[in-house]
Amino acid sequence: MDQMFTRAPVKVLVLSALFVLFLAVIPLCADIYSYIDSQGVLHFTNVPTSAQYTVYIKERSAGPLSYTTNQYDHLITGASKRQGVSFSLLKALIKTESNFNSEAVSRAGAKGLMQIMPANIKELKIKNPFDPRENIMGGARYLKQLIKRFNGELPLALAAYNAGPSVVERYQGIPPIKETEAFVKRVLKYYAIYRRG
């Protein structure tokens, strides 16, 4: 009788440990869904609560516990040195914006690795937003401008990168937009991961 009571907890512990290990190798994906309500407001979520939501951004998994590719590291390094913006921060922004897809285009028209909006493409004098070198250099230059504009407060600069600087200034902080709040958190999460190497 005593053996039954001692073996059962051991089995539970072993099964629990195996389950945790199983979860650790499942690729992490965070698809973004959207829908436009009757008032014309665009809603975003990573957990759709109704059939009205459709996939807005499909995150491709890079594999178990993989957060990166080294494909663009030489370009990110060049932009980092030239613009004085952290390599890890630029890489985190690219991961969040396009998942390293140089041909990415959002519904709003943002293009390339750093998902630069058409107005900014023109302002930054980017000739081909799908050219990784131009896109990364232009995005790094724009991020540097935002960091300066928001006095080095990185969360505000990132919110401005996503929602626009005037929106951040209007709210005097990160605007209460779910997409923007999630964006800032994701960039900061990947930034921490890349800084740890």
- What pLDDT was estimated at residue 36? 75
Least confidently predicted of 20-29, 30-39, 63-72, 95-104: 20-29
Each residue of 116-125: pLDDT tens digit? Answer: 999 999 999 9
How would you label 21-44 residue by residue, b for 16+ Cβ within 10 Å and e otherwise?
Answer: eeeeeeeeeeebbbbeeeeeeebb
Tokens representing 84 are 């004085």
- pLDDT number for residue 112: 96
**Under a CB-based contact definition with an 8 Å cutoff, are residues 70 and 50 in contact?**
no
What is the average pLDDT value for the chain, to the nearest integer? 81
Instruction: Report all structural domains of the chain as residue ranges with CATH numbers, in order of start.
Output: 28-59 (no CATH), 73-196 (1.10.530.10)
Q: Are 72 and 136 in contact (CB under 8 A)?
A: yes
Residue 97 annotated in active site: yes
Indicate which residue of 59, 97, 103, 169 is catalytic.
Answer: 97
Is residue 34 helix, strand or coil?
Answer: strand
Residue 176 has pLDDT above 70, yes or no: yes
99: number of Cβ within 10 Å: 19
Helices (H), the chain: 2-24, 73-83, 87-98, 118-123, 132-149, 154-163, 165-171, 178-196
Contact 95, 193 (CB under 8 A): no
Identify whether the C-beta of residue 102 lies closer than 8 Å to the C-beta of residue 139.
no
pLDDT of residue 39: 73
119-159: per-residue pLDDT in tens? Answer: 999 999 999 999 999 999 999 999 999 999 999 999 999 99
What strand order describes the sheet that includes 54-57?
A: 42-45, 32-36, 54-57
pLDDT, residue 37, reads 73
